[in-house]
Amino acid sequence: MLKVFIIATNLFAMSVSAYALPENKIDSGKVYAQEKPIILLGRGVTEGQQAPDFKVVNDAFVPVKLSDFQGKAIVISVVPSLDTGICSLQTKYFNEQVAKTFSNIEMLTISADLPFAQKRFCKQENIDKVVTLSDSVWRNFGENYGLYIKDMGLLSRAVFILNKDHKIVYKQLVENLATEPDYSQVVVKLKTL
């Protein structure tokens, strides 16, 4: 019963906080769902800037911040929901292909899924090289990176590469939510780190 209350409280808090977020002007008009533009909420980021810190939780509801990965280059794969086919493919690709080739780079997948769902997904799909993190509690990642989809409570699909100093050296905001990222561009950039 306590878990149900916590989940309901979090969902209510998410819906209230979504209306307080500003529109992401940096990425306005760049993302579509079923050929219709979607509105992204939050501040938005650009290549070349210092990556904003964020606070998310792991599958045990333990807070995790970007600053916890000091001195490590990072790939942040952002998906709307791990329970969908394209998001699953994206996460598996980074787990099976990219993490194997670039073992010195930290691989994170962030979604608005609850940690319980993320944990179940990772177990079912043998995701063991990518760290899945949830933005469902504070919505801090979506706000700081401008990725919350208005009226959906989900994150927009994107890939970021941060160097060891956590400067954003690559940003791919996937234009069509129903498609996978261009992995070849990600791999090319990773080879330069």
Q: What sign does the dihedral 74-121-15-30 (CA atoms) show?
A: positive
Confidence tier at 17 by pLDDT (50, 70, 90):
very low
Say whether pLDDT at 72 is over 90: yes
Confidence tier at 24 by pLDDT (50, 70, 90):
very high
| Residue written as token pair 């952002």 | 78
Whole-model pTM: value is 0.89
Q: Domain 32-191 has what CATH class? A: alpha beta
Catalytic residue list: 87
- Average pLDDT, stretch 181-185? 98
The pLDDT of residue 32: 97
Confidence tier at 3 by pLDDT (50, 70, 90):
low
| Cα 69 to Cα 10: distance, rounded to the nearest angstrom | 26
Which region holds residue 68: left if phi is over 0, alpha if psi is between -120 and 50, else beta?
A: alpha
Please, what is the average pLDDT of the chain?
92
pLDDT digits (tens, 9 = 90+) for 109-157: 999 999 999 999 999 999 999 999 999 999 999 999 999 999 999 999 9
Confidence tier at 57 by pLDDT (50, 70, 90):
very high
Q: Where are the domains of the chain?
A: 32-191
| Residue written as token pair 């261009």 | 182
Tokens of 152: 């959906």
pLDDT digits (tens, 9 = 90+) for 101-112: 999 999 999 999
Say whether pLDDT at 186 is over 80: yes
Spell out the alpha helix ranges (H) of 51-114.
85-93, 99-101
